[in-house]
Amino acid sequence: MSGQPFRLAQGGIIDRTRSLSFSFDGKTYSGHPGDTLASALLANGVRLVGRSFKYHRPRGIYSAGVDEPNALTEMRTGARLEPNTRATMVELFHGLEASSQNRWPSLAFDILSVNSWLSPFLSAGFYYKTFMWPASFWKRVYEPLIRRGAGLGSAAREPDPDHYEKAFAHCDVLVIGSGPAGLMAALTAGRAGARVILAEQDFELGGRLLSERLSIDSRPAFDWAERTIAELEIMDNVRLMRRTTIFGVYDGGTYGAVEQVSDHLAAPLPHQPRQRSWRIVAKRAVLAAGALERGIAFPNNDLPGVMLGSAVRSYVNRFGTAPGRRAVVFTASGDGWDTARDLAASGVHVEAVVDARDQAQGDPQFRAFSGAVVERAKGWQQIDGVIVRDAKGKRHKIACDLLTLSNGWNPTLHLTCHLGGRPGWNEALQAFVPGSVPKGMSVAGAAAGPLTLAAALQTGANLGAEAAKDAGFTASPPKLPQAGQDSAEASPIWRVKNAKGAAFVDIQNDVTTKDVELAVREGYGQSEHVKRYTTLGMGTDQGKTANVLALGLLSELTGKPVPEIGTTGFRPPFTPVTWGALAGHHRGPEFRPKRLPPSHAWAEENGAVFAEAGAWLRAQWYRRPGETAWQDSVNREAAAVRRSVGLCDVSTLGKIDIQGPDAAELLDRVYINRFSTLKVGRTRYGLMLREDGFAMDDGTTARLGEQHFIMTTTTANAGKVMQHLEFCRQVLWRELDVRLVSVSDHWAQYAVAGPRSREVLAKLADAPFDISSEAFPYMAAGALTVCSGVPARLFRVTFSGELAYELAVPARYGDAVVRAIMKAGAEFGITPYGTEALNVLRIEKGHPAGPELNGQTTARDLGLLGMMKKDKDFIGKILADRPALVEPSQPVLIGVKAVDPNETLTAGSHFIPVGAMTVTANDHGYLTSVAWSPALGHDIGIGFLADGRQRVGERIRAVDLLRGRDVECEVASPVFFDPEGARARA
Amino acid sequence: MPESSLPAISPFGAGLKPGRFGNRFEGISPITIAERADLTLCIMSAASGKSGAIAEQVEALTGLILPAGPKRVSEKGLSLIGTAPGQWLAIADGDATRKTLDKLAEALSGLATIADISDGKAVLRVSGPRVCDALAKGCSLDLDPRAFKPGDAATTPVALIDCQIWQIDDTPSYELAVPSSFAGSFWHWLTSSSAEFGYTVE
């Protein structure tokens, strides 16, 4: 382990009593709690941390925060590998493994750094202009080549082993940022009694107070921060959220946030998520996100060792780390002089302060150049000197290993733009400041523009009090602490003119001043055009250090003021958000909540293979030992129903309890057929239409009492039908006195079907219930008890065409009753059957289901016109009569079977006349459902065919272009099995 | 409901085992979860224009003031929760109260219809000092005592599942009713969300 050669002897908010071991590119180093990966690397003298996106130039740590464009690393390994992690935002932990990106074979010797030498040819638009032809090369040659060369880190190949959460929080006042303005706002609102959430992306509260040698009330400002944080900590109504980034602003005072719960640990603690995404609902918000410092474009401004001045102050003051030993300060603002003083106080030798301003307020302790610039930085894999051009044009060569840049600040106003707000250009600050802000938000401190500590405390206090008042509390701004003097006034320069070499505007995306000049020359001079032409601002940092620099440069190049060139807007997220955090609990099997019928455990025990039907898991078939193909199971099940008896869980059907004096009237109005004539104790099949006349859903409805019906719907449409009926009742026909309750989950329901079904149920029904066909005929419905006292309902309805019943019991008995039915049926060889066998049986009977009720078919198409009662009104009646829908040529439901019984039919095939071309003009309809019929021994299908009823016996082709099939078929009645329906009435 | 010899199975199935789970804790359980399997739940729906008459009957028979909004009133094991205009969830806790509910149904004949949904809902009581933190992972309601109090009720999706929630006391304790077919997914979400704090299943 090395000895942290660049660690200062004292100072900083790090715990020097403990050491943390970590590795970078396989080499082991040590740091301290309180370090970031970036500060620990610097303390160990690691300057080169990555290669750039396009030219593979050597890059170092540039900032100390969220704006970092360069120091992107791959964190961790294996399944937890995470690319593009900003080293400046990674809290150091013991055992941290990080590696550099975009280099091969090693960081120091990177083959593709040849791109850097080729850079004169790789200017903006190079790829668009060069890789044009041949077009066949786009996908196979150019794209893989470019993708390999460019780009950032690589993603993990294994599933993420960690879990993520989503959560909601509510507050009166949300304070975003915990610098002096944020702390003051939170304190004021908190003291007023408001529920406050203070969100801070860093792991320490305090913002710039952690990094600056400022004073409050004549003591170090950090002391004031500590006292304030301590007071906030003990307030019940204040919640401090560290490691939490507010990434987006949404309607109605909703804010998106990500809390990095365990990112600072090698692995999450037991039961702890890696990250948690929050939706914070706030009555008011105070944005106190501070400001981000700007760099300057000059040749080689991307060399490792070139850093923002504010970052250097952070490393020195907060992390007790010297980013170099011999520094040159290049500044266009008062900040540069603070940087020089802080460096000097820490023992770093300041070689020179180069101030671009003509009349800079100097500091005699430094060798100073006024009205001067750094013309270029020199060095190979890191900076080793600069060429300074003084006010008279004379050049001075100065050796150094650190160059700091201060060029004014950009307020962190991103969140003010998320609901469409546009920032405004402030000429005095030479920066964008918040323009229109989202409703309920106010902006305090440097995020609003004013940069002094006094202004931060003042606006924080005022806006915190105002926010609390708006939320209904009595608040008064507290006595303001006295802030010491500070000044960050800048007269920024955007680039150093008349200098040769690559001067980077967007360091992350390798966009230089030349690229911007080229864009202007080629007619892409508007900000949005420059962005797309050069990719400026399109990196993972979204141009946090680049955008304003580019606009300033464009202004210079075009002679237009910045606001005319365009403003930069921002969309969520402020910083990248992982998919895991957005998905939270809902991934894998929990992607959506599942519905399970009460028979689920029993079905699992019996080899059920499940399929998702909406949210439900339904048994498709029950695999028996020895059955390898699904069709084996399905054929066995379907045959067993026809031969003896089968059992199918139909609990998933929608069940709606309809009660009230007008219950029958409601049904008459929603079904095409009549229910007011249905006798108590009887069931009827019904079809309901949409307003536009197309079929919506079907099912059976039983009359349990004069004013009491129970409706069943298809599984898929249960929710939709309930909504439809509630809409009819609450909106269309408020005069009807009728009440609806969904009882779908209350009842477990089993279809017992087959010639022996009556005998099975007879064994279960408690005396004195009489199940004989005379007492309980086809379509009867009744209440009874089964299995010695379980309340139940019995319906004699059939979907299979066999003698069949549906038995409903309260869900708690669902498991026991399915086992009881199986026991009672054992002597008859009762066979559980799934949805596939159910499908086979209903196709044999020509009963329409989902594929036929597909939203494009009418009652007429389905062959159910006879059911329609024209002497009453019902939903869909008028529009079902539209001329196009009643044309004789409209396809109607028919059956088909292949002429060659060994042929297979496929659903979705289109009907084309024999000998006709396979073109749309010859399309006579389509096949919706097919099955191999165990009863008939060959494939059958039902579908819709023009003039179908008249064409029974004709030949037609079923053409499936997708699967390359063309099968000659004979048109038949859709009812293949037991056309008289005698079996159901047995 | 007559008792049968057949076993009644909880919709939470095998997941519901008493004990302590998740992170270890000392002292009071951060979260306690208990199934309310013993409840009778009915949806009581008013006939057109009969809400007033129902309120009179309810008060005469039970002394309860029928809530006109999303509130819960409770007395001697009988609770009434406003769930929609003209609709209430009536809950009887135990056999004696079930008889009161039957009597109420009789008295309301013609004024309201009663639909038994006891088996259609899976009900949990959750309580403890960290329960709100766990619920916040799927429930968008503000459960802070300033915003939601004992006697308050709401219908809201929780972890994408339709849920009715009402507060029992300021321990705080809540009861959550979800469609019984969703019980497994709901249980999985609730226990995953509680594990960080540690929880007890009663």
Summarised one tens digit per residue, pLDDT across range A759-780 is 999 999 999 999 999 999 999 9
Q: Which DSSP state fits A729?
A: I
Identify the pLDDT of residue A489. 79
For residue A126, pLDDT over 90 is answered with no
How far away is chain B from the Cα of A422, in angstroms, using its nearest Cα? Answer: 30
Is there a single domain that holds both residue A641 and residue A659? no
Helix, coil or strand: residue A816: helix
Of the pLDDT bands very low, low, confident and very high (cuts 50, 70, 90), residue A477 is confident
For residue A922, pLDDT over 90 is answered with yes
Residue B4 and residue A592: Cβ atoms within 8 Å? no
Least CA distance to B89: which residue of chain A? Answer: A741
Residue B147 and residue A616: Cβ atoms within 8 Å? no
- Closest partner residue to B181 (CB to CB) among A745, A812, A817 is A745
Q: 């979705």: which residue's tokens?
A: A908
pLDDT in tens, A323-346: 999 999 999 999 999 999 999 999
Rg, chain B, Cα only: 17
Is there a single domain that holds both residue A199 and residue A264? yes
Residue B8 and residue A817: Cβ atoms within 8 Å? no
Residue B117 and residue A195: Cβ atoms within 8 Å? no
Q: Is residue A87 part of a domain?
A: yes
Residue A737 and residue B2: Cβ atoms within 8 Å? no
Residue B142 and residue A281: Cβ atoms within 8 Å? yes
Identify the pLDDT of residue A103. 75
Cα A613 from chain centroid? 24
Among A213-227, A565-579, B28-42, the range scoring the smallest mean pLDDT is A565-579
Which residue from A781, A784, A791, A747 is spatially nearest to A762, judged by alpha carbons? A784
Q: Chain A within 8 Å of B94 (Cβ-Cβ)?
A: no
Among A484-493, A614-623, A801-810, A908-917, the range scoring the smallest mean pLDDT is A484-493
So where are chain B's domains? 17-37+120-201, 39-118
Q: A-chain residues within 8 Å CB-CB of B196?
A: 271-273
Q: Is residue A863 part of a domain?
A: no
Q: Chain B within 8 Å of A874 (Cβ-Cβ)?
A: no
Residue B96: Cβ-neighbour burial (10 angstroms; 0-12, 13-18, 19+): exposed
Residue A813 and residue B11: Cβ atoms within 8 Å? no
Q: Is residue A828 part of a domain?
A: yes
| B17-37+120-201: CATH, from 3.20.20.10, 3.40.50.300, 3.30.1360.120, 3.90.320.10 | 3.30.1360.120
B185 forms beta bridges with none
Among A632-641, A844-853, B3-12, B125-134, the range scoring the smallest mean pLDDT is B3-12
Cis peptide before A768 (omega within 30 of 0): yes
Contact A530, A546 (CB under 8 A): no
Residue B8 and residue A745: Cβ atoms within 8 Å? no
Is there a single domain that holds both residue A648 and residue A659? no
For residue A741, pLDDT over 50 is answered with yes
A75 forms beta bridges with A82, A98
Q: Chain A within 8 Å of B193 (Cβ-Cβ)?
A: yes
Half-sphere exposure of A654 (CA within 13 A, CB side): 25
Of the pLDDT bands very low, low, confident and very high (cuts 50, 70, 90), residue B126 is very high
Contact A281, A252 (CB under 8 A): yes
User: What is the tally of structural domains in chain A?
Assistant: 7
Query: Would the CATH topology of B17-37+120-201 be identical to that of B39-118?
Result: no
Mean pLDDT over A58-76 rounds to 94
Q: What angle do CA A500, A506, A511 make, to 5 degrees?
A: 60
Q: Which of residues 588-617 of A touch B (CB under 8 A)?
A: 590, 592-598, 600-601, 615-616
Residue A586 and residue B160: Cβ atoms within 8 Å? yes
Q: Is residue A857 part of a domain?
A: no
Is there a single domain that holds both residue A128 and residue A58? yes
Q: B-chain residues within 8 Å CB-CB of A733?
A: none
Mean pLDDT over A485-498 rounds to 85
Q: B-chain residues within 8 Å CB-CB of A615?
A: 182
Residue B8 and residue A596: Cβ atoms within 8 Å? no
- Closest partner residue to B8 (CB to CB) among A659, A746, A812 is A812
Of the pLDDT bands very low, low, confident and very high (cuts 50, 70, 90), residue A132 is low
pLDDT in tens, A817-854: 999 999 999 999 999 999 999 999 999 999 999 999 99
Identify the pLDDT of residue A565. 87
Contact A262, A93 (CB under 8 A): no
For residue A558, pLDDT over 80 is answered with yes
For residue A164, pLDDT over 60 is answered with yes
Mean pLDDT over A739-750 rounds to 97
Cα A851 from chain centroid? 32
The share of chain A scoring above pLDDT 70, in percent, equals: 97
Q: Is residue A128 part of a domain?
A: yes
Q: Which residues contact A236 (CB under 8 A, 6 or more apart)?
A: none
How far away is chain A from the Cα of B187, in angstroms, using its nearest Cα? Answer: 10
How many beta carbons lie within 10 A of that of residue A626, not counting itself? 6
Identify the pLDDT of residue A128. 66
Is there a single domain that holds both residue A505 and residue A455? no
For residue A36, pLDDT over 60 is answered with yes
Measured between alpha carbons, how far is A545 from A553 in angstroms, rounded to an integer? 13
Is there a single domain that holds both residue A709 and residue A762? no
Domain ends where: A420, A448, A470?
A: A470
Q: B-chain residues within 8 Å CB-CB of A163?
A: 192
Is there a single domain that holds both residue A178 and residue A208? yes
- Closest partner residue to B160 (CB to CB) among A593, A597, A739 is A593
For residue B3, pLDDT over 60 is answered with no
Among A182-196, A352-366, A625-639, A749-763, the range scoring the smallest mean pLDDT is A352-366
- Closest partner residue to B120 (CB to CB) among A594, A601, A811 is A811
What tokens were used for B61?
């028979």
Q: Which of B3, B5, B6 to mutate to test the interface with A (most CBs of A within 10 A)?
A: B6
Backbone phi and psi for residue A41, each to the nearest 5 degrees, phi listed first: -60, -45
Mean pLDDT over A297-317 rounds to 97
Containing structural domain, residue A69: 1-158
Q: Is residue A188 part of a domain?
A: yes
Residue A592 and residue B22: Cβ atoms within 8 Å? no
Measured between alpha carbons, how far is A923 from A971 in angstroms, rounded to an integer? 15
The share of chain B scoring above pLDDT 90, in percent, equals: 92
Identify the pLDDT of residue A109. 76
Q: A-chain residues within 8 Å CB-CB of B45?
A: 659, 739-741
Contact A164, A259 (CB under 8 A): no
Q: A-chain residues within 8 Å CB-CB of B121?
A: 745
Of the pLDDT bands very low, low, confident and very high (cuts 50, 70, 90), residue B1 is very low
Q: Which of residues 175-214 of A touch B (CB under 8 A)?
A: 195
Of the pLDDT bands very low, low, confident and very high (cuts 50, 70, 90), residue A148 is low
For residue A1, pLDDT over 50 is answered with no
For residue A60, pLDDT over 80 is answered with yes
Q: Chain A within 8 Å of B91 (Cβ-Cβ)?
A: no
Is there a single domain that holds both residue A383 and residue A522? no
Residue-averaged pLDDT of chain A: 94
Q: Chain A within 8 Å of B139 (Cβ-Cβ)?
A: yes
Domain ends where: A692, A721, A742?
A: A742
pLDDT in tens, B84-111: 999 999 999 988 889 999 999 999 999 9
Q: Chain A within 8 Å of B154 (Cβ-Cβ)?
A: no
For residue A208, pLDDT over 60 is answered with yes
Is there a single domain that holds both residue A606 and residue A686? no
Q: B-chain residues within 8 Å CB-CB of A197?
A: none
Residue A163 and residue B22: Cβ atoms within 8 Å? no
- Closest partner residue to B119 (CB to CB) among A170, A659, A812 is A812
- Closest partner residue to A743 (CB to CB) among B115, B136, B182 is B115
Is there a single domain that holds both residue A892 and residue A917? yes
Residue A539 belongs to a domain with what CATH number?
1.10.10.1100
For residue A801, pLDDT over 90 is answered with yes
pLDDT in tens, A215-263: 999 999 999 999 999 999 999 999 999 999 999 999 999 999 999 999 9
Task: Mark A725-743 as b/e (b = at least 16 C-beta within 10 Å).
Answer: beebbeeeeeebbbbbbbb
Between B195 and A101, whose confidence is greater? B195
Q: Chain B within 8 Å of A815 (Cβ-Cβ)?
A: yes
Of the pLDDT bands very low, low, confident and very high (cuts 50, 70, 90), residue A478 is confident
Contact B24, B199 (CB under 8 A): no
For residue A127, pLDDT over 80 is answered with no
Is there a single domain that holds both residue A911 and residue A780? no
Is there a single domain that holds both residue A765 and residue A824? yes
Residue A596 and residue B186: Cβ atoms within 8 Å? no
For residue A108, pLDDT over 90 is answered with no
Residue A43 belongs to a domain with what CATH number?
3.10.20.440
For residue A618, pLDDT over 90 is answered with yes
Which residue from B79, B184, B57, B148 is spatially nearest to A604, judged by alpha carbons? B184
pLDDT in tens, A277-290: 999 999 999 999 99
How many beta carbons lie within 10 A of that of residue A641, not counting itself? 30
Q: Which of B54, B163, B181 to mutate to test the interface with A (most CBs of A within 10 A)?
A: B181
Edge-to-edge strand order for the sheet containing A72-75? A27-31, A20-24, A96-99, A72-75, A82-86
Instruction: From residue A792, give the alpha-carbon distance in Å to each of A273, A548, A782, B114.
Output: 46, 74, 9, 17
- Give the end-to-end CA distance of chain B in Å, rounded to a whole number: 25
Measured between alpha carbons, how far is A789 from A855 in angstroms, rounded to an integer? 43
Q: B-chain residues within 8 Å CB-CB of A742?
A: 120
How far away is chain A from the Cα of B156, in angstroms, using its nearest Cα? Answer: 13
How far away is chain B from the Cα of A871, in angstroms, using its nearest Cα? Answer: 28
How many beta carbons lie within 10 A of that of residue A589, not counting itself? 8
Q: Determine the length of chain B.
A: 202
Contact A897, A939 (CB under 8 A): yes
Least CA distance to B14: which residue of chain A? Answer: A601
Topology adopted by domain B39-118? Alpha-Beta Plaits (3.30.70)
Q: What is the 3-state secondary structure (H, E, C) of chain B?
A: CCCCCCCCCCCCHHHCCCEEECCCCCCCCCEEEEECCCEEEEEEEECCCCHHHHHHHHHHHHCCCCCCCCEEEEECCEEEEEEECCEEEEEEECHHHHHHHHHHHHHCCCCEEEEECHHHEEEEEEECCCHHHHHCCCECCCCCCCCCCCCEEEEEEECCEEEEEEEEECCCEEEEEEEHHHHHHHHHHHHHHHHCCCEEEC
How far away is chain B from the Cα of A810, in angstroms, using its nearest Cα? Answer: 6
Identify the pLDDT of residue A189. 98
Identify the pLDDT of residue B2. 47
Residue B45 and residue A279: Cβ atoms within 8 Å? no
Measured between alpha carbons, how far is A147 from A151 in angstroms, rounded to an integer? 6
Q: B-chain residues within 8 Å CB-CB of A590?
A: 185, 188-189
Residue A814 and residue B9: Cβ atoms within 8 Å? yes
Q: 């003509």: which residue's tokens?
A: A358
Q: B-chain residues within 8 Å CB-CB of A167?
A: 136-137
Q: Is residue A737 part of a domain?
A: yes
Least CA distance to A236: which residue of chain B? Answer: B144
Q: Which residues contact A211 (CB under 8 A, 6 or more apart)?
A: A64, A310, A313, A314, A317, A318
Which residue from A830, A834, A837, A857 is spatially nearest to A944, judged by alpha carbons? A857
Measured between alpha carbons, how far is A136 from A151 in angstroms, rounded to an integer? 23
- Closest partner residue to A195 (CB to CB) among B8, B87, B144 is B144
Identify the pLDDT of residue B15. 77
Q: A-chain residues within 8 Å CB-CB of B137?
A: 165-168, 584-585
Residue A594 and residue B146: Cβ atoms within 8 Å? no
Q: Which DSSP state fits A92?
A: P
Identify the pLDDT of residue A265. 95
At B94, which amino acid appears? Answer: G
For residue A544, pLDDT over 60 is answered with yes
Least CA distance to B159: which residue of chain A? Answer: A593
